[in-house]
Amino acid sequence: MTTLPARQLYTPQQFVSGGDYQTDSSFNGAFNVPSGVSHTVVHNFALPRSTTAVKGTRLNSINVGYSVSTAALASITAVLQTIDYTPAATVNTVASTPASFTTAVGAAYMGVVTVTSPAFDVTANPRMYRLTLTFTGSATPNLISSVAVFYDEALYTNDFTA
């Protein structure tokens, strides 16, 4: 078997942003998070697939580039899911480990969501991946964190050899 590493970069214009106080489908990557409020950034994406056993693509991890300014956040969570259309949508959580999501004020960070047990995607049904990032503002009253999400990047292995 010949496998090759591959990367697919996605920009904020491909995300949907929403929170307790705003929803924006023409998202440019920047938003504010007031104290005690959570704001979500959702990205649905697909990778090439094959129905041949141990072929196609295997999602290994997702890098997320972002910054926090003006005030630290209380938390950042990341959830990775699959959405299978069979024909109704079935949503399943992908076992994964978020790491290096720093909540302190700083120039730029890269968080990583690593798939716990990567496997080749051989489903015959249409499938999307969904990455949901939740940014929660500080518990300290009257603080507003400014956040910018620059990109997310899917790192995967592919094998489409005969």
Q: Is the pLDDT of residue 26 over 60?
A: no
Question: CA–CA distance from 62 to each of 23, 66, 95 (Å)?
Answer: 24, 13, 13
Residue tagged 């798939």 (tokens): 115
Q: Is the pLDDT of residue 70 over 70?
A: yes
What confidence tens digit (pLDDT) does each residue in 54-69 have?
Answer: 778 899 999 999 999 9
What's the mean pLDDT when you consider all of the chain?
87
Query: Where in the chain are the domains?
Result: 4-159
Confidence (pLDDT) at 107:
81
What confidence tens digit (pLDDT) does each residue in 73-125 have?
Answer: 999 999 999 999 988 899 999 999 999 999 999 889 999 999 999 988 888 88
Angle (nearest 5°) at CA 45 between 25 and 74: 65
Mean pLDDT of 19-36: 69
Confidence (pLDDT) at 135:
95
pTM exceeding the 0.75 threshold for the entire prediction: yes
Q: Is the pLDDT of residue 50 over 90?
A: no
Confidence (pLDDT) at 76:
96
Query: Residue 39: phi, psi to the nearest 5?
Result: -130, 130
Mean pLDDT of 119-145: 90
Question: CA–CA distance from 104 to each of 69, 121, 129 (Å)?
Answer: 8, 36, 28
Confidence (pLDDT) at 21:
43
**DSSP state letter for 35:** T
- Does the domain spanning 4-159 belong to CATH 2.60.120? yes
